[in-house]
Structures are given as C-alpha cells and as structure tokens.
Structure 1
Amino acid sequence: MTALQAEGRRRFGQLLTGIEAYRKHAYTRTAEPAPVLWDEGTTKLRDYRMAEPAGKDPRRPRVLVIPSLVNRFYVLDLEKDASFLRWLDAHGFDPFVVDWDGPGYLERGFTLTDYIAGRLDKALDAVKREPGGPVYLVGYCMGGNLALGLALRRQADIAGLVCLATPWDFHAENAPHAQMMGQIGRQLEPVLQILGELPVDMLQAFFSGLDPFQVLKKFQYFGTLDPDSPAARRFVALEDWLNDGISLAAPVARECLIGWYGENAPQNLSWKIAGQAVDPAGLERRVLNVIPSADRIVPPGSSRALGKRLRLVEEMVPNAGHIGMMVGRHAAPSVWEPVAAWMRAQ
C-alpha cells in the first residue's frame, strides 16, 4: 500500500508539473486567419487562396472545408508549418473554410437544418461564384456529417466528398457510453431552456469523458518536455485550441446528444434535414472515407458504418489519432497528400 501511495503521489506531482508548465508557457498564436469571403450572423467563410494569381491554373479545384460546430476551424490552420488549408493552397487547390462561432441572437434557435440548408447552402453558393475548377466538400469530424447533409442536397454542384474521422454509428463500439450521453442530454434540458445553448465547458467535460485518463497522461508527458522544443510549442498550440471551443445552440445540442448519441439517429436513418432523411445511399458522388486507426473520439467502427451505406466510396485508414491526423508530424504524407491525390484523380 505504501508503494502504491508513493506512485500515486509521483504521478500526481507529474500532472501538476505539466499543468503549471502549460500555464506558464510563452506561446501565442501568430498565424493570421484568412480574409472573409462571405458571412452571415456569426458564420464566416474564409478564403485561403494565397497563391499569386499570375500563372495560376484557372481550373484549380475549389475545396469547401467544413469543421465541427463545437471546435474552432483553426486546427486546420494551427501554425504556418502545420496548416492543412495553406498546404492545399500551395499544392494546386483553392481552399475555403467555414469559420463557425458560438450562437448569436440569430443562431440561438438554430437546428442542424438551419446550419446545413441555410448557412452551408449559402457558403457553397459563395464558393461556386468564385472562378475555378470542380468543387469538393471536405468535412472533419462532425463537419463530415454536415458536409454529407449538404452533399445530398447539392449533388449537381459538387464533384466529390471527403469525410475525415466522421461519426455515423454512434453505438458501434461503446453503446452504453453513447446512451449515457443521451441521458445526460435529457437531464440538461433545464440548462438548455434557461441559457438557450449548451456551454462549451460542459462540452469539454463530455469529450474528456470519452477518455478520462488521456488528460492525465498528456500533462504528465508535457511536464517532461523542454519548454523551448517544437514538441512543447505544438502541445500548447493544440491545448489552446482545445480550450477555445464553441457553445452549441440548444436545438442542435438536443439533436446531437439525444438524437445522435442516445438514439443513434444517423445509423437508424431517422436524422432528417429539411424533412428529408440523411441517407448516405442516396449520394451519387464519389466519397473518400478517412478513418484514423487510433481515433479515441470517433471510434473507427463508427466511421466504417458510414462507408457501408455509401455507394461510391473508397476507404483510407491512416495510422493516426483524431487530431493527429490533421496536425501530427506525419499528417502531410499520411493524410493530406492522399486526400489531395484522390481529389485530383476524380
């Protein structure tokens, strides 16, 4: 028992050391976000076309990137040397990204239909008005669900869809946990009614609950790093992004927690946008379904279920985690380059 207590104190000390080192770190984000091409309410469409117009191929594919509603878009533009969006621009694409913000006065009563059939429809219209080649949709995490809903509505306007770590069967690998999330959603109804939104702090607690020991491990690890090392800088950049989340409008929170997690609505084809069931089988465009093998946030089985319902799908399984697939050291060769090659091949 004494040895166990000593080990517990040692690990707790490592945790505190890591947290204190994070709080004192001098890193500040320096990457400036791209200019706004279109906006409505708290939603912006940012234009990451940074290549010089002279000599630029006018047929460059246009890429509309859709992130999750609960996280800031800039994980896709974390730093200049860790930016999927800037990389796309440098490798022959015209990238645009949806910059969600927390619900304002207009968005407080929004459902997912309002976001997909409203805001994303208009964002796609804005991309279509710009000169260029075929348009691809790329959705990351929950953004993949939003992108799928948009793709089904606008098939004639797109050339293909890329789903990055997109959940579909929410009961695939841990049904009891998902059903518990649904019950929590129901118990939060008084909060949703009073505030009109699900606060970001509560969302953080939900995601931490997916892997409760990960928080301990990551700060213990950070405490062992040289504060001036690139690894420490990247850790702080990511942790700052994670702590800069977005609240969810109350109706969206109900759809996601109760509908998606509790009732498994996407897999059961009971999730509807503008009155129409979101059925992947109805998509007649090619899809690349990217399923990171070490994903702890979206279990691979959840994403794989989406591929089983798609008609024209290719599956890619990089050896990466949910966030590492987009910002890790091997993100470019293992994910970015194959995604770009797939879009070019279409």
Structure 2
Amino acid sequence: MPQRRTSVPPTHLRQGPRPLPLHLLTHLSTLAGSRAALPLLKSGSLGWKESLANKAHALKESLDAAGPEAWNRLDEELAAEAARRHQALLDGIEAYRRHPYARTLDRPPEIWRQGSTSLLDYRIRAGGLPVLVIPSLVNRAYILDLSARKSLMRYLAGKGLAPFLVDWDSPGPAELGFDLTAYITGPLAGALEAVVRETGRKAALVGYCMGGDLALALALHRPERVASLALMATPWDFHAGRDGQAVLVRALMQPLGMMIDAAGQLPVDLLQAMFASLDPGLNAKKFALFAQLPRRAARTRDFVALEDWANDGVPLAGPVAQECLFQWYGENSPAKGRWLVAGRPVDPARVAVPTLAMIPEKDRIVPPDSATPLAAAIPGAQVMMVKGGHVGMLLSARAVSQVYRPLARWLVESSVQ
C-alpha cells in the first residue's frame, strides 16, 4: 500500500515563514527607516532616485509652506501607517500558521533507496519513455508533486510517460560528508541504473534548478544510460548580473566556512535567510495580501501548500554547501570550466543527446542571464523561454500550457530522434 504522507498536521501551528525572527525584524527595520528618514527630508539632505527627485522636492516645499504642524502630522501618519502594515503582516502570518490545509497525497511506491536518497515510481501504466526527474538538493522534491492539481510528475504519467522522482531527503550520517561528486556518482548514478534496470530503456533526464546541474553532470558521467536532457531554470553563470553577490560571498568565506565545518552542514534557516535576501520585502507583501483571501478559496490553499513546501527545507551537507557557495557562487566555477565531477570538468560542449532548456523570463533565483549561457554551450540545445518565475513555472495557472505540455511533447519527440 502507498504510504499516506501529510506534510503539516493541521492541529499544529506551522513554524514558518522561516526564519520568522528575521522576517519580522526586516519588516520592522524597513518601517522604522521611513520615520528615521523624515528629518533628512525636512533638511533637504535626503537622496532620491532621479525619477522621484522632482516629486520629493515638491512635497518638501508643500510641507514647509504648511508650517511645522504639517511635519508633525506627517510623522504621526507615518507611524500609523507603519503600525497598520506590520499588523497586516502579523495577521497574514497568523492566518497561515493556523490554516487547516494539510498535504495528503499518497506517496508513490519507493522502488530503490541508497542512504537517505530514494526513487519514487509515478508510473500509472506499463511502457512509456522512462524519465528521471532530479530536483535541487536544497528543497524537498515534492515541489514537483505539490498537489493533485499542480503536479508535473502526475501530468507526465498521465501522458503515457514513465516518470521517476529522486527524493533526496535530509542528509543522513553518511551523506553529511558528501560533496557533489559523491552525490552524482553515488546515489544519483544509482537511481539512474535502477530506472534503466526497471524499464529496460535509456532514460530521459529532467533537472529542476540545481537539479539541472546535477542532471547535466550525470549525463556526462553515464552517457550510455541517457536518452535526452531537459533543464528547467538551471543556473550556470553565477556572476551574471550579480557581481556584488560574488564579492559578498568571498568576504564571508572564512566565517561561513568555519560555521559549516563546525555544524557539518548548512542549516535550513540560514539557507532560507539567503533566499529571503533576494527580495527582503517579499514576505511582508505576500502575507499582507494573504490575510485578505477567503479562507476556503483554492487560491488560499495553493498559497499555504507552497509556503509549507518552502518552509519544509533540508540542510545541505557541509562539503556540498562549501562547493556551491564558494566555488559556484564565489568563483563561478561552472561557467569558467572549473567545476569538476570525478576529476573531470563538467563541460556542456560534451553533451551528445537532445537537450531542452526551459528558462523563466522573470526568475529572481536563476535570472535568464545565468541560465542561457548553459543552453548556448550545449550543441544543438533548444531554448524555450517561459513566462513567470522560478516556482511559477511549475505552479502558476499557465504551468500546464507553457511548461508541462511542451515538456511532455518534447520528451516524446526527442525519444524518436
């Protein structure tokens, strides 16, 4: 019997959004900064973007003309608005934490396991092209099977393909010492062998986010087992448009490296804080809007399902964390040809199977400028630009028409080339 899987017991308060103290303090400090800037506006020493400078000057002149009481009133209104906005955030968080939704999809059969890594079988009928779907090591695999209505895995199965999902889970005692080579040549290569053995055919590889980098490396490591390669929102040039980020990572290398060494891993809350830094104001906006949604609406349940997944993270094994943070993000080793797996450079030019790169146009986690160089480096790779963002490509209302359906069609067509 399939195991029943419930991600969040509805009788318990949720932990998220994680890390909660960071989100609350970030919002409070942003709001406090608005009032703290008021004396600078009054003295005329506050810097403005060029597009706002004229309006700011007109505002100051208007307040000066109205007299001191106008400035006092503005201060009072800023304080009231700050309190209102923070309360809206708190209301949204409280509504999320107490929402009764729980993910109750049946867990597909597990047909293979090595350590903490398992292989889930989503097939609903015999035959069909085997497809090994590889998620990121950073988040739970079920983003690809979030709900009955939003599941790439179940869609592929419904179209007659034979999809299998790698479920990394949290690193166990053995995996805590793994680097990327150990993951790729160990459990990932083992999962591919299990799919080939189970189906008797070469497998298509589909990698999402960091999973695309792992799929690329696996395709080069086991080319005789791979029929095709699909990369979804896969980063490659980690410095594209983010020079400041690289400088910051290098500056933090020693203290962060020492912390990872001491803990043996990169903790979930630190990972979440890094993602939050990409858009520090996002959580306040989305939870304030969430507080206004009807509790039983499908949109409300979708929000809770996604947030539950986002807050159900897993730590990164220490060596993997150091390799990704300091070599990928710090040194840009993949784009520079310096990322090695089993002692060999991961060279996209050596890919010899049909390849598709699906690149979201509004991805803040993997900007198009980071993903497109990988597609350009793979001979004959087809590029498909997708409207939306990193997670939206999987879960938005357009996901079926713009991602699921074209991907399934391409997988079938590439298997007969």
Range class of TM-score, shorter chain: over 0.9
Output one character per residue of 1:305-336: Cα deviation in whole Å (capped at 9) or x when no partner.
11121112011111111011111221111101
1:210 counterpart SS class = coil
Amino acid of the residue matched to residue 110 of structure 2? Answer: V
* Correspondence for 1:343: 411
Quote the offset at 1:223 in angstroms. Answer: 1.1
CA drift of 1:135 comes to: 1.5
Counterpart residue type for residue 105 of structure 2: A
Query: Does structure 1 residue 256 correspond to structure 2 residue 330?
Result: no
User: What's the CA shift string for 1:176-201, capped at 9, x where partnerless?
Assistant: 12332343343212222222111111
Say which structure, 1 or 2, has more relative contact order (CA 8 Å, 6+ apart): 1
Q: How many residues align?
A: 340
Q: Which residue of 1 aligns with 2:152?
A: 84
**Structure 1 residue 4 corresponds to structure 2 residue 67:** no
Counterpart of 2:274? 206
Shift of 1:114: 0.4
Q: 1:237 aligns with which of 294, 305, 310?
A: 305
Distance (whole Å) between structure 2 residues aligned to residue 214 and residue 91 of structure 1: 36
Residue 118 of structure 2: aligned partner = 44
Tell me the CA shift for residue 7 of structure 1: 2.7
**Alignment TM-score, normalising by the size of structure 1:** 0.95
- 1:22 matched to which residue of 2? 96
Q: How far apart, CA to CA, are the structure 1 residues paired with 2:291 and 2:299?
A: 12
- 2:203 maps to 1:138: no
8 Å CA contact 2:196–2:202 kept in 1: the answer is no
Say whether 1:164 aligns with 2:232.
Answer: yes
3-state SS of 1:108 partner = helix
Question: How well do the aligned residues superpose, as a CA RMSD in angstroms?
Answer: 1.3
Q: Which among 306, 315, 318 is matched to residue 383 of structure 2? A: 315
Q: 1:186 aligns with which of 250, 254, 272?
A: 254
Distance 2:257 2:175 in 1: 18
1:133 to partner: Cα distance = 5.0
Say whether 1:177 aligns with 2:251. no
1:32-56 CA-partner distances (Å, limit 9, x unpaired)? 22111110110101111123x4xxx
Native 8 Å contact 1:318 1:335 kept in 2: yes
- In the alignment, is residue 73 of structure 1 matched against residue 141 of structure 2? yes
- Segments of structure 2 that go 5 or more residues without pairing to the other structure are 1-73
Whole-Å separation in 2 of the counterparts to 1:184 and 1:231: 39
Q: Which has the larger radius of gyration?
A: 2
What residue identity is the alignment partner of 1:38? W
Contact 1:62–1:132 at 8 Å: present in 2 too?
Answer: no
Q: Give the whole-Å Cα distance in 1 for the aligned partners of 2:140 and 2:250.
A: 24
2:361 to 293, 297, 314: 293
Name the SS for the 1:101 alignment partner.
coil
**Which 10-residue stretch deviates more, 208-217 or 3-12?**
3-12
SS, match of residue 316 in structure 1: strand
- The equivalent of 1:302 in structure 2 is 370
Whole-Å Cα distance in 1 between the matches of residues 106 and 139 of structure 2?
Answer: 18
Deviation for aligned residue 1:269:
0.8
Alpha-carbon spacing, 1:313–1:137, altered in 2? closer, same or farther (3 Å):
same
Q: Distance in 2 between matches of 1:131 and 1:165?
A: 28
1:26, distance to aligned residue in structure 2 (A): 0.6
Q: How far does the alpha carbon of each residue in 1:5-32 deviate from its partner, in whole angstroms, 9 at most, with x for none? A: 3332222121111111101101111112
> Does the alignment pair 1:34 with 2:34?
no
Q: Secondary structure at the residue paired with 2:334?
A: helix
Question: Which residue of the partner structure matches residue 195 of structure 1?
Answer: 263
Instruction: Indicate if the aligned counterparts of 2:89 and 2:287 stay in contact, CA closer than 8 A.
Output: yes
Give me the whole-angstrom Cα distance separating, in 1, the residues matched to 2:207 and 2:246.
22
Distance 2:102 2:148 in 1: 13
Match of 1:225 in 2: 293
Aligned counterparts of 1:7 and 1:325: Cα–Cα separation in 2: 35
Q: Share of identical aligned residues, percent?
A: 48
Secondary structure of 1:85's counterpart equals: helix
Q: TM-score, with normalisation over the residues of structure 2?
A: 0.79
Q: Please, which of 107, 119, 143 is the counterpart of residue 187 of structure 2?
A: 119
Q: Deviations over 1:121-164 (max 9, x none)?
A: 11100000112654200000000000000011122221110000
1:266 paired with 2:334, answer yes
Q: Which amino acid aligns with 1:257?
A: L
Compute the displacement of 1:91 (Å).
Answer: 0.6
Distance 1:164 1:275 in 2: 26
Partner SS for 1:228: coil
Distance in 1, matches of 2:247 and 2:163, equals 37
Amino acid at match of 1:200: V
